[in-house]
Amino acid sequence: MGAGIKPSSLIADAEMKARVQRLWLDWTDEADAEGLTDFYGLQRRAAREVFIAGEVFFRFRPRRPEDGLAVPLQLQMIPSEMLPLSRSEPLPGGGAIRQGIEFDWLGRRVAYHFLRRHPGDVTDPGLAGETVRIPASEIVHVVDPVDAGQLRGVSRFAPAVAKLFLLDQYDDAELDRKKVAAMHALFITTPAPAEAFDAAESDEDGARVLDLQPGSVTMLAPGEEIQASSPADVGQTYEPFQYRTLLQVSAALGVPYAYLTNDMVRANYSNSRLALLEFRRRVEAYQHAVMVDPLCRPVWARWMDGLSGKKGSQEVFEVRRNRIRKILGNLVSEG
């Protein structure tokens, strides 16, 4: 998302356009209902949620004029787990709730049935499992659909999550192997039958131990010999295995290998530039299909409607209303 996707008003009046843009800039600092970031920070968080969880929701929260906001409107981010996938049931009149989304008999979205609290939040057990119905006009559903008729989002990590899980286990095992190999472990071989040894030389489990000190010379019993531990080494297979696995993960995520791993050793100028150009085209398509149309445009339209609650903004609405009337008049004359 970079620094955020910023709108540019199409108002012909330069002075009016400048006033609207300044008002928008003032509002962006107040857009987050939680007060954690601004509107462009919400865009970044939304893009992250869609990439990881597959979807995210925003709820329009109108405010009172006396709240002192530039425009009496804020956005509340709702994570995907707040809309239960298990909520599916028929409704009177031909409608139905499917995966937490309410549809009418024509298949139009009319409402969302959100949980009142996060399912992983145990600080308020009294609201566990309770849902609230919110009209679809108050919700913005940001999702990257990949199949026709898809209702809910799918994580971008879905094609790669199994490989990442196994790769993490493999790395943990390799770290443990290196840890054991770095230890100075010695084993004493005693010919049978072995003579009993002093209990002071044994540990809590009864096993015989021999404490080695730096520079010490220890005399062993007759017939005993020392063998050093030599754990098996993976040799030259570790790097190629890691590279091929991460290459498959980068292909599944749609992120170039060098940018996924920060491994610039294998990259040169030509192949890095080629990968970057293709990656930028995918990012631009993602921004338009996932962020601009589902999120930015509805927020801009609702923000313009929210200007009616701002004192001194009536002239902005007059310009907008006259423009809509002109468009409708042209359509009627052409019809």
**Sequence-separated contacts (24+) of 69-72 with Cβ below 8 Å:** 69/27, 69/30, 70/23, 70/26, 70/27, 70/30, 70/310, 71/23, 71/27, 71/303, 71/306, 71/307, 71/309, 71/310, 72/306, 72/309, 72/310
The two tokens of residue 228 are 């050093």
| Strands of 16-72, DSSP E | 55-62
pLDDT at 141: 92
Look-up of token digits 């993960």:
249
What is the total residue count of the chain?
A: 335
Please give the backbone phi and psi of residue 202, each rounded to the nearest 5 degrees, phi first. -110, 160
CA angle 157, 163, 164 (to 5 degrees): 65
Which residues is 61 bridged to in the sheet? 74
Tell me the one-letter amino acid at 155: S
- Run means of pLDDT, 10 residues per run, the chain, 335 residues: 81 83 88 89 90 90 84 90 88 88 89 87 72 90 85 86 88 81 67 54 62 63 68 72 86 83 76 82 85 87 73 48 53 48
Contact 54, 144 (CB under 8 A): yes
Q: Which residues contact 282 (CB under 8 A, 6 or more apart)?
A: 254
Query: pTM value?
Result: 0.71
